[in-house]
Amino acid sequence: MRDTDRRTFLKTSAVVAAQTATLSAPAIAFGQRGANDRIRVGLVGLGGRMRSHVGSLAAIAGECNVEIAAICDCDRSKLDAAGHNYPELAGRNYSTYTDLRKLLDDPSIDAVSFSTQDHWHALQTIWACQAGKDVYVEKPPTWCIWEGRKMVEAARKYGRMVQIGTQNRSSPNVCEGIQKLHEGVIGKLYMARGMTYKLRGNLGKHRPQPVPDGLDWDAWVGPAKMVEYSSFNHRRWYWIENFASGDIANQTVHDIDKIRWGLQLESHPSTVASLGGRFVPGEEDDADTPNTQAFLCQWEGRKILVTFEVRHWYTNSEAQMRDTYPFVAENQCVGEIFFGSEGYMIFPDYSSYYTFLGPKNEPGPFKTDGPGIDWATESAPHFRNWVAAIRSRRHEDLAADVEQGHLSASVCHLAKISCKLGRSVHLDPVTERFIHDPEADKYLKREYRKPYEIPDEV
């Protein structure tokens, strides 16, 4: 199929899906309430990232008529400590749940905000859509490519507003920078490069021990393969493939999402090549996802190259990011570089862009909020956008609709698959299957542990 035919097919499918969602939306759709009714939100997964969810929702509560009405975690100790760990919850009345399914059965809850482990995101989102709840879910939205399509299908079928936590999409300065790219501030774009250089060090060893009192380990493991409890499994899950994909689908999702957005890449890449592994000091710990990895991507019909690198040890900076234009943490070089016929642009953090023009790299347009970031409220614009879409009932109003999250996360999963195989992979962007490559197709979907299975028909 030609590239133009693929894009026509995708656009037509999107229209049909939107029409179907309108016809099949459940009777409890929020739009049948009132445009000014209070939106009651349940919070699921009381870890460190939930700090931003609580702070951001509290920041917009008055202007957006939003209420945190329930909290949920399969670890009772986190529920008990919620008022201390999240000061905005202290003294408030809210329901508490250790079982997500009971929260979803609560008819007074309109929407759910998830900050759980990566391997849970897809199933929890699908359950919430089926229960008639709108969803905010942290990135990456998926553990594998197949999950993303199921999430999109569920969101459209049940008419739910599903926002992915790629909050750069709602940053005013980032939006301005992307708009200038589209207007040609650095000329014709031909390449983009992203990087996440973070000093991770040794992540530790797996030492089995009894499950702590109050923790439902079966529920925590959920769809993943059951493993024995250890603080390593519980606290270092980001770097264990059973639960996540490491940095190739952690920080990288933010960067790839901005690259796709800036280059206006609205489909899957057709070719991805990646190499990497666990090098020093990873040889000394029990993490099993790469700490050093690079990949390249190309899109069919587009003369565009995208490259990306992950490093977990000492490194130089690039394009003055980290040294002159610091990220939000010390000794981290994280960001994106766009290359054009007239210059280049960098995004060194979540609220800045800088341009450099001509052969002498003369400074051009830029916008920044300065160094540092308030993690407690940095996602407030993104939650504000989500709430606005909940009221409008138009997924087109979402800054980071689930379809966009699926496309960005899938680039990372393709890099993961290529690295596993040690060779390039070639995807059909429409069928979302590899071209004449059954070996690669095996990695499109994982095996799910009963009863935490994602059905073929959501």
What is the span of the domain harbouring residue 275? Answer: 173-370+410-441
Q: How far apart are CA 154 and CA 146, in angstroms?
A: 13
Digit-coded pLDDT (tens) for 426-453? 999 999 999 999 999 999 999 999 999 9
CA distance to 260, 261, 334, 336, 373, per residue, from 353 (Å): 16, 14, 13, 10, 15
pLDDT classification of 16: cutoffs 50, 70, 90: very low
* pTM assigned to the model: 0.92
121 with 201, same domain: the answer is no
Q: Specify whether 285 is located in the same domain as 314.
A: yes
Whether residue 244 sits in one domain with residue 122? no
72-119 per-position pLDDT tens digit: 999 999 999 999 999 999 989 999 999 999 999 999 999 999 999 999
* CA–CA dist 300, 253 (Å, integer): 21
Instruction: Give the tens place of pLDDT for each residue, 351-372.
Output: 999 999 999 999 999 999 876 6
Asked if residue 319 and residue 222 are part of one domain, the reply reads yes
Q: Are residues 145 and 222 in the same domain?
A: no
Those residues with Cβ within 8 angstroms of residue 102's Cβ, 6 or more apart along the chain or in another chain: none
| pLDDT (average), residues 380-386 | 98
Split at pLDDT 50, 70, 90, the class of 28 is very low
Q: Is residue 447 part of a domain?
A: no
Asked whether residue 229 falls in the same domain as residue 137, the answer is no
CATH number at residue 98: 3.40.50.720
Total domains in the chain come to 2
342 in a structural domain: yes
Co-location of 260 and 391 in the same domain: no
Interval 267-326: pLDDT, tens? 999 999 999 999 987 778 999 999 999 999 999 999 999 999 999 999 999 999 999 988
Q: Say if residues 39 and 66 touch (Cβ distance below 8 Å).
A: yes
Q: Report if residue 455 sits inside a domain.
A: no
- Identify whether 142 is part of a domain: yes
Question: 178 and 292 share a domain?
Answer: yes
